[in-house]
Amino acid sequence: MIIRKFELNDLDRVFELLNELYEGKLKYDVFSKIYQDRLNNDTSYYVVSVIDNKVVGVLTSELEVKLTRERKQMYIDTIIVDKDYRNKGIGKALMENAINFAINNNCEIVELTSKLNNENAHRFYEGIGFKKHSYKFKKYL
């Protein structure tokens, strides 16, 4: 397994996996533009896991500067592993890779959110050392 930063030729496969996670709600044209804008962005850390030249996992995260923190923080926005490759350590490897990137970039904390009913993900996050901390509220505009 190889974990590496996104490349332009990963776009369609990354879209496929993330659109599965977001239940078909992503729009390819918008996604494609943002994806290409983020490829060389210093605050974005987007990585894929590759097995036999196939992207099987995706993790997107952002380094953030917060007024209330002494150092940067990393926010993990999304993580997904192809359903045929789950429970093989790929998600854990993606998370460890991102956490190491955060450590090497002087981050104070790594944060993420998870849907309330996604108990498998909650067990996964707790199993790798994350603690339940707060509720996230949304208001769609």
> Strand, helix or coil at 64?
strand
Task: For domain 2-127, give the CATH number.
Answer: 3.40.630.30
pLDDT at 40: 84
Which of 116, 46, 103 is closest to 76 using CA atoms? 46
pLDDT at 55: 97
| Distance (Å, whole) CA 78 – CA 130 | 15
**In the chain, what are the domain boundaries?**
2-127
Residues in the chain: 141
Count of Cβ atoms closer than 10 Å to residue 77 Cβ:
15
pLDDT at 78: 94
How high is the mean pLDDT in each 10-residue block of the chain (141 residues)? Answer: 95 96 94 92 94 97 92 95 95 97 96 91 94 88 94
pLDDT at 96: 97
Give alpha helix (H) positions in the chain: 11-21, 28-38, 90-104, 119-127
pLDDT in tens, 9-20: 999 999 999 999
pLDDT at 138: 86
Output the six-digit token pair for 15: 């879209």
The model carries a pTM of 0.91
